[in-house]
């Protein structure tokens, strides 16, 4: 039905015996156990590939299981909505944390020249946003410099559905219809986005 095995986990040597614990269970409809979890010699707890995830507080719903966690970096780029073009960058840094179906992204980008045309797009996000016709994830803009805007406006960003880029918009202070900003040949943007995939 199930077993726990203590195994060598590395290369033994004199007074050196790296080990791991492997927990195996038998799935319903199967005749033999397969690995479900292991504790490695470097003290990581690892769920086996294809596992359902971790369930909390007695909740047995598969949809509520924590089934993924990931940290990493990405390279943000500037693109034009009409012609993507190419840029000359002095800084391109992006960081992300993915927990289940939620991604938190932070980054900043500085460019000094660009050949793109049309709507300003910050692209290269590490995951595609969820596919839902009404989905618009808000983008928090931190330090923004040298973007060309109209007078007396506030700027904001949004990440549409099924995209790996966000756009930057302006709206008149006091209200009005927002309009997207066109790409600039040079600017500095720091940003943060939390979105679902």
d(CA 141, CA 104): 14
Give the integer Cα–Cα distance in Å for 44 and 56.
20
Backbone angles phi, psi at 63, to 5 degrees: -65, -20
C-beta separation of 88 from 137 below 8 A = no
Residues 129, 180, 134: CA angle, nearest 5 degrees: 35
Cβ-proximal residues to 157 (8 Å cutoff; 6+ apart), any chain: 122, 138, 139, 140, 141, 166, 167, 168, 169, 191, 193
Count the neighbouring beta carbons within 10 Å of the beta carbon of residue 131: 10
pLDDT attached to residue 134: 85
What is the model's pTM? 0.82
pLDDT, averaged per 10 consecutive residues of the chain (197 residues), comes to 95 95 94 94 92 89 89 97 96 97 97 96 97 91 93 94 96 90 95 96
pLDDT of residue 49: 87
Q: Quick one: pLDDT at residue 51?
A: 85
How many angstroms separate the CA atoms of 159 and 80, rounded?
A: 15
Helix, coil or strand: residue 52: coil
Query: Which pLDDT belongs to residue 8?
Result: 96
Half-sphere exposure of 12 (CA within 13 A, CB side): 6
């Amino acid at each position: 039905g199930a077993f726990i095995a203590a195994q060598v986990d590395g290369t033994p040597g004199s007074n050196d015996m790296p080990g791991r614990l492997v927990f195996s269970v038998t799935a319903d409809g199967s005749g033999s156990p397969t690995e479900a979890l292991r504790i490695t010699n470097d003290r990581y707890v690892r769920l086996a590939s294809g596992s359902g995830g971790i369930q909390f507080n007695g909740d047995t719903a598969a949809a509520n299981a924590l089934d993924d966690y990931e940290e990493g970096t990405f390279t943000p780029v500037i693109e034009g909505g009409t012609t993507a073009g190419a840029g000359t960058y002095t800084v391109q840094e992006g960081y992300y944390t993915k927990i289940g179906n939620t991604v938190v992204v932070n980054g900043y980008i500085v460019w000094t020249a660009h050949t793109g045309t049309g709507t300003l797009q910050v692209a290269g996000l590490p995951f595609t946003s969820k596919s839902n016709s009404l989905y618009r994830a808000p983008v928090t803009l931190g330090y923004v410099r040298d973007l060309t805007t109209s007078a007396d406006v506030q700027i904001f960003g949004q990440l549409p559905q099924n995209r790996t880029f966000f756009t930057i918009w302006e709206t008149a202070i006091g209200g009005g219809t927002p309009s997207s900003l066109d790409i600039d040949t040079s600017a500095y943007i720091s940003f943060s986005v939390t979105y679902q995939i």
